[in-house]
Structure 1
Amino acid sequence: MKRIAVMGTGSLGTILGAFISLHRQVDLIDVNEAHVKALNEHGAKITGTMEFTVPVKAFLPEELTGEYDLIIFLVKQVYNDSAIASIKNHINENTIILTLQNGFPEPALIEVFGENRVIGCTVGWGATWIEPGVSELTTPESALSFSMGRLNGEVDQKVLDCKTILENMCEVHLEDNFAGMRWAKLLVNATYSGLSAALGCTFGDVLDDPIASVYAMYVCNECIRVGDAWGVTKYSTAQGENMRDTLGFKDNQERLLKANTYETGFRPAQLLKASMLQDLEKGRPTEIHAINGIVTFFGKKEKIATPFNDEIIRIVTTAEANKTVPTMENLPALEKILAKYRY
């Protein structure tokens, strides 16, 4: 692949672009003029669990020229339409769109670009955008990973080529059950990113709070129940675990037995602050409808009640509308939902 671009260089895109730039040329594309200027003048600075700065080439969408062989798509889904319009004149029939977005982004991109050109990837690490040109990696180096594949499970040369590019950063797992992997990632985002946004806190704060930590288990279990009804057969992780088996529960007794699994499984991400919360802090729209909203959408379709996800959506959308940032003061609302629906 001769020409590569990362479209959407927020926290994740900046860090991935920096790692790739250590080994080969990649163009970083973003609409934030101050960020593009800082990247070009000072390089991409990575802080947190790793510390380094690397020179990069960054562009505004209107500055693009020529065609790309691979576009790594990291735009928030609320901006899909404008981002797609920006790259349409810079692709050809062989260009690959590799989406690292949250939620279930592949169907919408396949509709535009075709099934053969869209490859999906889940990101197994977290990041926080600090300021123009600077992003914080919040996951330990030993825990960094990607999981990649097509919704149909096919592994071809294009998939292998994309794997090679991402390996400039960390380990890449190829998935023959990528739809299941997507849902596994979705339920993690719906649970901890959703609560991070709804409570204005980190993943660790959710784990440390006696109300939020229990609520998280019910959000996750709700996602599993909806996935089961929709037809997801294996909630695979990069480590080969089936998240239904490790996290799902049928009653309170089983939930108590699995509480420690949540603690040990998600504690490595304790420093992570959801990108949706970062959006609220900047007064921007969030991806709540592309994450928790996907769960409620399929819940309605399959006639599965989703009160725990519904409450997260209510809190976050209210904050969006009022241009406010949620806080732990929302815990009493979650406690009421727990008292009404826990089982």
Structure 2
Amino acid sequence: MTPHPTRSLFWGAGAIGGTMAAFLARAGHDVTVVDSVADHVEAINSGGIAITGPIATFTVPIPAFTPETLKGEWDTIVLATKAHHTESAVRALLPHLSATACVISAQNGLNELAIADLIGERRTVGAFVNFGADYLEPGLILYGGRGTVMIGESFGPATERVSPRVLAARDAWRDFDERATATSHIWGYLWGKEAYGAMLFATALTNESIADALAMPPYRDLFIALAREILAVATARGVQPQAFDGFDPSAYLPTGAPEAARQSLDNLVAHNRKSAKTHSGIWRDLAVRRRPTEVDAQLGIVVTLGAEAGVPTPLTARLVGLIHDIERGERPQSLNTLDALADVLTP
């Protein structure tokens, strides 16, 4: 049992939120979850959240609600929805924010910008989570592989971004992963994940695993060019991307040596081969759950921010379009579709 239990609401109990909430609840924290999938909520209330996989297997009871049945206020709300549900989720959680509450974005993307637009910068805290997990069925989540976990204030001077509330959350999250760390450079991690996330979107154009796709020689220059394009936007915005889990952003800068980028790809392949989660959540949305992905909220925003900064993003824009083609059933997930992205590099 944790010596300093915390009270938090996880808005979204899928792969990210469900996994973290389960570990915190098992450690003795006061955790409540909200999810829009009624069957998932019912399963949690009747039998708890079940975690399976190579890292841990356990079931823990957690109070679960759909948004319309939830009552009460919280000082800490962890937002763990898909990126494209950010705005609607924040509007729904507003009645549950206490007067001094903050929302911690444990999502993929740059969603702290959208959250701050709705509730203000003072209430917005950023988080970077890179572990591998999948929602398998109502009440059951696969925790497939560990990854970096960071938390920090999204706004204000860098010297104030490791605040008391950030440290309290970090301490609680160490009951999920003992390596959880507070950082004053949360945007550096989020932009690094944007570049890596673009690679994952590209692998989802195919049915190859993440590791197998990143290891394929004909496409290595494509993955490198895609990361460089994203990081050029980050640089234009004054952000210094941070390294994590084999991804070294400095290797993808225009001034970086070609062998450095190839080594970083090798490290990413090795990291992903260790995980029981072989394919990205993006691939799963397309191939298994047959639902829209986060592509507009995750990568479309980079195209917009790039245009504002005068940085061209043709690869990213093409990738967004190809994902939409698959969503509409107009293209298959295949190497031919990845070739259509690589064609952007052809003079």
TM-score for both structures, normalised by structure 1: 0.88
Cα distance change on mapping 1:307 and 1:82 into 2, 3 Å:
closer
Q: Please show how residues 11-90 of structure 1 align to structure 2 within 5 Å.
A: 11-23=15-27, 24-57=29-62, 58-90=64-96
Of 143, 148, 160, which aligns to 2:167? 160
| Separation in 2, partners of 1:277, 1:265 | 17
Residue 248 in structure 1 maps to residue 253 in structure 2? yes
Asked whether the 8 Å contact 2:215–2:266 carries over to 1, the reply is: no
Q: Which amino acid aligns with 2:15?
A: S
Residue 149 in structure 1 maps to residue 152 in structure 2? yes
Asked whether the 8 Å contact 1:127–1:272 carries over to 2, the reply is: no
Which runs of 5 or more structure 2 residues have no equivalent in the other structure? none
1:247 CA drift (Å): 3.0
CA offsets 1:127-153 (integer angstroms, 9 cap, x no match): 12211112222214xxx3311111233
1:42 CA drift (Å): 2.5
Q: Please show how residues 1-343 of structure 1 align to structure 2 within 5 Å.
A: 3-23=7-27, 24-57=29-62, 58-140=64-146, 144-151=147-154, 152=156, 153=158, 154=160, 155-170=162-177, 171-191=179-199, 193-232=200-239, 234-237=240-243, 243-250=248-255, 254-270=257-273, 271-281=277-287, 282-322=289-329, 326-340=333-347
Asked whether the 8 Å contact 1:221–1:249 carries over to 2, the reply is: yes
SS across alignment from 1:159: helix
1:230 CA drift (Å): 2.6
Asked whether the 8 Å contact 1:183–1:227 carries over to 2, the reply is: yes
| Separation in 2, partners of 1:314, 1:250 | 29
Task: Please identify runs of 4+ aligned residues in structure 1 that moved more than 6 A.
Answer: none
| Separation in 1, partners of 2:120, 2:49 | 33
| Separation in 2, partners of 1:298, 1:85 | 24
SS across alignment from 1:121: strand
Cα distance change on mapping 1:41 and 1:118 into 2, 3 Å:
same
Cα distance change on mapping 1:196 and 1:331 into 2, 3 Å:
closer
Q: Which amino acid aligns with 1:52?
A: T
| Separation in 2, partners of 1:227, 1:77 | 19
| Separation in 1, partners of 2:129, 2:6 | 24
CA offsets 1:85-111 (integer angstroms, 9 cap, x no match): 322211121112111111111121112
Which runs of 5 or more structure 1 residues have no equivalent in the other structure? none
1:75 CA drift (Å): 1.1
1:288 CA drift (Å): 0.6
Asked whether the 8 Å contact 1:72–1:100 carries over to 2, the reply is: yes
Q: Which amino acid aligns with 1:121?
A: A
Greater shift after overlay, 45-54 or 10-19?
A: 45-54
Cα distance change on mapping 1:208 and 1:245 into 2, 3 Å:
closer
Cα distance change on mapping 1:311 and 1:293 into 2, 3 Å:
same
SS across alignment from 1:221: helix
What CA RMSD, in Å, does the superposition of the two structures yield over aligned residues? 2.3
SS across alignment from 1:45: strand
Q: Which amino acid aligns with 1:230?
A: R
Alignment identity in percent?
A: 24
1:186 CA drift (Å): 1.4
TM-score for both structures, normalised by structure 2: 0.87
CA offsets 1:266-297 (integer angstroms, 9 cap, x no match): 42124442222222232322111122223222
1:157 CA drift (Å): 1.3
Greater shift after overlay, 101-110 or 260-269?
A: 260-269
| Separation in 2, partners of 1:335, 1:85 | 39
Asked whether the 8 Å contact 1:39–1:132 carries over to 2, the reply is: yes
Aligned residues: 332
Cα distance change on mapping 1:323 and 1:59 into 2, 3 Å:
farther
| Separation in 2, partners of 1:245, 1:122 | 19
CA offsets 1:192-217 (integer angstroms, 9 cap, x no match): x2113222443112223223333111
SS across alignment from 1:311: helix
